[in-house]
Amino acid sequence: MSEGSLMLEECQTSLTEKDLDRVELQLGYRLPAPVRAHYLRFNGGYLPEEQMERQRIAFGGFNPIRYGTLPAEQLYRDLLESFPELAGWFPFAYDQGGNCFLIDLDEKRSLGSIRVWLMDGEELAEVTDSFDEFITILSQV
């Protein structure tokens, strides 16, 4: 995974493997290995301002798990209440317009692919084929 040059600010409390196992039980899906590795290194957070200005995508930040005002697992439950068709799409990040970046956790679909949930249009738009590719885009400056 190409996270070597990725730096995030204002991350939440660090997670353990046990924390991630617990979240997977709540979700009913396993997180892909690159996502688990990312959350063990960074729990939420956003890019430094100088990197944000040079992004190709309107990235806002990563949603933390277990901690913060709206942990990703709570956001997932909230999304499912309004949009049950998003089952298996985990909201790991957000953009600058309040839309959610989702990763597909369902093996029967496009496991690991990244989409953005456009709230206004209630539609999924393709972003990348994998979490690693998403991180590579964010790491480029």
**CATH code for the domain of 110:** 3.40.1580.10
Positive or negative, the CA dihedral 133, 65, 93, 128 is: positive
pTM for the predicted model, two decimal places: 0.90
pLDDT tens-place string over residues 11-43? 999 999 999 999 999 999 999 999 999 999 999
Q: What is the pLDDT averaged over residues 113-117?
A: 96
Q: Please give the tally of structural domains in the chain.
A: 1
- Place 103 in a pLDDT band, splitting at 50, 70 and 90: very high
Q: Which domain holds residue 131?
A: 17-139
CA–CA gap between residue 80 and residue 87 (Å, rounded): 6
| For residues 43-64, average pLDDT | 84
CA dihedral 41, 93, 103, 34 (to 10 degrees): -10
Domain assignment of residue 129, yes or no: yes
* pLDDT, average across residues 100-106: 97
- Alpha carbons 77 and 86: distance in angstroms, whole number: 10
Cα 62 from Cα 57, distance rounded (Å): 14
What's the CA gap between 73 and 24, in Å, rounded? 9
Q: What is the DSSP letter of 29?
A: S
Residue-wise pLDDT for 89-99, tens only, equals 999 999 988 89
